[in-house]
Homo-oligomer: A and B are copies of this chain.
Amino acid sequence: MTAGGSDTGQVRRQERGRRRMAQILDAAEDAIAEVGFEEATTNAIAARAGVSPGSLYQFFRNKDEILDGIVERYTATSREFWDRQLSGEAARMDLGDFIERVLGALATFKTERPAFWVLFHGSAASPKLGEVADRIRAGIGDRLREVFRQRAPEVSEERLELLASVTISTVRGVLPMVMEAPPERRAALIAEAKALLLGYLGPAVGPERREGRAEATGEAPR
Q: Which residues of A contact B (CB under 8 A)?
A: 36, 38-39, 122-127, 129-130, 162, 165-166, 169-174, 176-177, 188-189, 192-193, 195-196, 199-200, 203, 216-217
- Residues of chain B contacted by A193 (CB below 8 angstroms): 166
CA distance in complex: A162, B193 (Å): 10
A196 partner, pick from B127, B130, B166, B172, beta carbons under 8 A: B166
**When the two chains form their complex, are residues B177 and A169 in contact, meaning their CB atoms are under 8 A apart?**
yes
Within the complex, the shortest CB–CB distance from A188 to chain B, in Å, comes to: 7
Top-8 shortest CB links A-B = A173-B173, A199-B199, A169-B177, A196-B200, A195-B217, A172-B173, A169-B173, A169-B174
Chain A to chain B contacts (Cβ below 8 Å), 10 pairs:
A122-B123, A123-B130, A162-B188, A162-B189, A166-B174, A166-B192, A169-B173, A195-B200, A199-B216, A200-B200
Q: Which residue of B lies closest to A38 (CB)?
A: B38
CA distance in complex: A87, B166 (Å): 28
Within the complex, the shortest CB–CB distance from A32 to chain B, in Å, comes to: 13
Within the complex, the shortest CB–CB distance from A86 to chain B, in Å, comes to: 19
**When the two chains form their complex, are residues B162 and A170 in contact, meaning their CB atoms are under 8 A apart?**
no
A162 partner, pick from B129, B166, B192, beta carbons under 8 A: B192
Within the complex, the shortest CB–CB distance from A99 to chain B, in Å, comes to: 13
- Residues of chain B contacted by A122 (CB below 8 angstroms): 123
CA distance in complex: A196, B125 (Å): 30
- Residues of chain B contacted by A38 (CB below 8 angstroms): 36, 38-39
Within the complex, the shortest CB–CB distance from A87 to chain B, in Å, comes to: 25
Within the complex, the shortest CB–CB distance from A112 to chain B, in Å, comes to: 22
CA distance in complex: A217, B162 (Å): 24
Within the complex, the shortest CB–CB distance from A142 to chain B, in Å, comes to: 16
- Residues of chain B contacted by A176 (CB below 8 angstroms): 169
A199 partner, pick from B124, B165, B192, B200, beta carbons under 8 A: B200
16 additional contacts (CB under 8 A) given A38-B38, A172-B173, A195-B216: A123-B127, A123-B129, A124-B127, A162-B188, A162-B189, A165-B177, A166-B177, A169-B177, A170-B174, A170-B196, A192-B217, A195-B200, A196-B196, A196-B200, A199-B217, A200-B200
